[in-house]
Amino acid sequence: MTESPHIVQLDEANFMQVVVEGSDTVPVLVDFWAEWCGPCKALSPVLEKLAVEYNGAFVLAMLDTEAHPGIAQQLGIRSLPTVKLFRNRQLVDEFMGALPEAELRTFLETHVGAAAPEAEEPEEAASVAEQALAMHEAGQTSEARALLQQAQAAEPDDAEVLLALGQVCVAEGDLDTAQSCLKALPEESRDGAQGKRLAGIVALARESGATEDLGALQTAHSANPDDAETRYKLAIASALAGDVQSGMDHLLVLVQTQPDYNDGAPRTKLLSLFDVLGDDPLVGKYRRKLFAMLH
């Protein structure tokens, strides 16, 4: 948490003083979060940055709902992140989800006013693409896609947004849209490392066909780690979800323990992932591992 007199960590002992009594003097914005919540990790730093920038025009109060579930239950918190604004001991507004910084500023300006002009230059906030990928990693893939599509509509040539949207579409199995994202990339981005990686992932997805749910495969693998078919499917699904290194780790295990599985498919797919990574330093590392196993 950012060190600031305008940012307070809440618990049962200080909630009444900070939020209820404190809102008599200044608006209090309460951020309900949890360590496991990906969108929370995208939203909280932006809120902290704004609290510093507003320099006391409001107090940001952070409540870890895992550490203090009683308060969250009393206030009816059912999804994370949830943000509530209190003024004069009353709830005056709230929102759920990781809003972009521009919308957060609009929310604050409505209830608090504009930030003081003499405030320090704020640190750069997480981009829309970074926020969306955090949501995707937290299991909110459809919400992440909607956020990226909105951003792409506003800035059609934003390479960071197009690359993130392509990755999310591959995870959803929408390869046509992912291919469209590749085509829409500026030429220098399409020929760059991230563009080539996305192109390789799309090609791998088309070659591999539909995959099972990543979470279900992880559960099945944990229950039976010696099952080659499950490990192989998990390797492909992990790579398609963007975790290429985990996919290569699973394939290396199969090359070592069951090299003849599916007519040598683990080695073939591992070589395909090398092509996906291109000049990434991981390629050299894993090529040496593969060579050591085969010789």
Alpha-carbon distance of 220 to 199, in angstroms, equals 29
Contacts of 187 (CB under 8 A, 6+ apart): none
- Specify whether 40 is catalytic: yes
- Specify whether 37 is catalytic: yes
DSSP 8-state symbol, 8: E
Alpha-carbon distance of 150 to 165, in angstroms, equals 11
Catalytic option among 7, 10, 28, 37: 37
Is the Cβ–Cβ distance between 50 and 115 less than 8 Å? Answer: yes
β-strands 28-33, 59-64 pairing: parallel
Name the residue with tokens 């279900």.
216
Name the residue with tokens 């200080």.
14
Longest Cα–Cα distance of the chain, Å, equals 74
Catalytic option among 8, 30, 40, 61: 40
Q: Which residues are catalytic?
A: 37, 40
